[in-house]
Amino acid sequence: MSNIRVRFAPSPTGPLHIGGVRTALYNYLFAKKHGGTFLLRIEDTDQGRYVPGAEDYIIESLKWCGILPDEGQGIGGPFAPYRQSERKEIYQKHALELVSNGSAYYAFDTPDELDAKRQSEAAAGNHNFKYDHISRRAMKNALTLPAHEVQHRLATGEDYVIRLKVPENETVMFTDLIRGEVSFQTGELDDKVLMKSDGMPTYHLANIVDDHLMKITHVIRGEEWLPSTGHHVLLYRAFGWEAIMPKFSHLPLILKPDGKGKLSKRDGAKFGMPVFPLAWKAESEEDSFDGFREFGFLPQAVINFLAFLGWNPGTEQEIFSLAELCEAFSLEKISKGGARFDYDKAKWYNQQYLHAAADSDLAAQIKPLAEAKGYQVSDEYLAKVCHLMKGRATFLSDLVVQASYLFGDVQSFDNENIVKRWKPESHPNFEALAVLMESTEPFDAPTLEERVKNLMTERSLKPGEVMPLLRIALAGTMQGPGVYEMMVVLGRQRTVARLRRAFDYFDTLNP
RNA sequence: GCCCCGUUCGUCUAGGGGUCUAGGACGGCGCCCUUUCACGGCGUUAACACGGGUUCAAAUCCCGUACGGGGUACCA
């Protein structure tokens, strides 16, 4: 067991976005590759954005994907609690430590005052007001106020925040495992709030403290965090942890299919595809979504697809099981540029996995779908249907939807093709086929094929004038599995009855 | 605006100075298989953003420009 430790640290503000799932996946793969530990931490420091149910959703999603954490919220472990709202005192203590060593300071400017300041600055032509080493000299904080007044304000319970005191003129540099050296001039960085007036830490403080305390060795997160990593390094420095801080890797973003910006929850409806792993039910229709699972995706396919969205092993193999991904994964092979969400590729992966899946496994998975449609069939029968249909299905649901005629009577006939092909005068020939079916023994595909071919020869019938009509009689459509295979699955009784009924119906179209 | 990051076929990508007349996959197109639809097989389409360097040699290294993305909150 190596001491590699990584974390997935989502915020429970709603359903877990597919980009978040990929971040979790890469963390999981990296941990497994190195025999390390993958942990789940819930970053719920924003009380205002907390959404009930989101935490369970996150865990359910990881479970569905098969990438459950080894440690963390919902699992437990030596560094509990793993929910940041339950670690308030820890952050408070650490923030105070920074205040006392001069790396942070109290500030009393209210949100309203800051807004007003931004507006007045904007009116004066400065559109990028920052609370930084220059502007802090003119604000209400422990750097400008006399010590006794600061004490008084604190003592009387006035609202305050603690801000990071960013040095004026330094270069802060770190090595990103994906991007190489990245550096920032501290003069460009603002004095980030570390502790909010409600007593909660901001992400910036909490993630540094927790990553250190939880002995995280590698931070693998989205690119949206790259710009604030300068602050994070400054924080490690302020705590005296810079020499042992985690290695950073910033993942490229997943972009909209049209490439215009990062993929967002609204893109699902816009492009007719899922952007969440599982369904999410909110109060409004607009905020409720179906997930990959509800669309009929297999989790293995989603994982394979996601793994390849921004990563590539450098070989020409495209299909990878989770275990193979763990073996092949490396951070160095992650690409730097953002990757568009390629839904066609996702569907292709699903089709590949569907095709390769065992009939019985598929049967178990579509059973709820079949039952929901009111179909009452045995597991064995379901497996036979899967065997017939899986080669031409993209989604799990296709196995049920496209095979409706295997579960019940034909719902609609392809009348156009019937009219084109059916000749009432050959009804006797088709009746002869039905009679043939009644006696064919054994009732299997090779035997049926042989007998039908013999009969066609005897009566000088061409396959083209027989097979399409048999197909339509059994399935109603010109599409589907082999005619003889369908007959076997339907069984002798249903086949014969269905044929006779259909031929009578055909007569009514072409009298 | 400012800061950070990025830029190879339509898309995901391989490529880490010569083996690149740039490889694979998805998509598209065509053919074969099959008197269904798919699967499958074969073939085809199509890219190193631009401009300067460095070098005997650059898709690969450096600089600039353009374009794209991200960040710029008492959100994460």
Q: How confident is the model at residue A5 (pLDDT cuts 50, 70, 90)?
A: very high
Catalytic residues of A: 265
3 state SS for A126-193:
CCCCCCCCCHHHHCCECCCCCHHHHHHHHHCCCCCEEEECCCCCCEEEEEECCCEEEEEEHHHCCCCE
Distance A186 CA to B2 C1' (A): 14
Please enumerate in sequence order all residues whose Cβ is within 8 A of that of A8, keeping only pairs 6 or more positions apart, or say none.
A20, A23, A24, A27, A28, A38, A39, A40, A41, A62, A69
The arithmetic mean of pLDDT across residues A311-321, rounded, is 96
- CA distance linking residue A345 with residue A348, whole number of Å: 5
- CA distance linking residue A31 with residue A40, whole number of Å: 12
Cβ of residue A337 near strand B, that is under 7 Å? yes
Nucleotide nearest to A9 (CA to C1'): B76
Nucleotide nearest to A200 (CA to C1'): B74
Assigned token pair, A3: 């001491």
Chain B nucleotides near the protein (CB, 7 A): 1-8, 10-16, 23-27, 35-40, 68-76
Domain covering A409-509: architecture: Orthogonal Bundle (1.10)
Q: Please give the model's pTM, rounded to 2 decimal places.
A: 0.96
Longest dimension (CA), chain A: 112
Quick: pLDDT tens for A234-269.
999 999 999 999 999 999 999 999 989 999 999 999
CATH 1.10.1160.10 domain position(s) in chain A = 267-356
Nucleotide nearest to A345 (CA to C1'): B26
Q: Out of 3.90.180.10, 3.40.50.620, 1.10.3720.10, 3.40.50.20, which CATH number does the structure's domain A5-73+208-255 have?
A: 3.40.50.620
Quick: pLDDT tens for A22-55.
999 999 999 999 999 999 999 999 999 999 999 9
Q: List, as one string, the DSSP characters of A449-499.
A: HHHHHHHHHHTT--HHHHHHHHHHHHHSSS-SS-HHHHHHHH-HHHHHHHH
The three-class DSSP label of residue A266 is coil
The CATH number of the structural domain formed by A267-356 is: 1.10.1160.10
Quick: pLDDT tens for A403-456.
999 999 999 999 999 999 999 999 999 999 999 999 998 999 999 999 999 999
Which residue, chain included where needed, has tokens 């007045």?
Answer: A120
Q: Which of residues 192-211 of A touch strand B (CB under 7 A)?
A: 193, 196-198, 200, 202-203
Domain covering A88-177+180-194: architecture: Alpha-Beta Complex (3.90)
Cβ of residue A177 near strand B, that is under 7 Å? no
Residue nearest to nucleotide B70 (CA to C1'): A224
CATH 1.10.10.350 domain position(s) in chain A = 409-509
Q: How confident is the model at residue A341 (pLDDT cuts 50, 70, 90)?
A: very high
So what's the ipTM on this one?
0.96
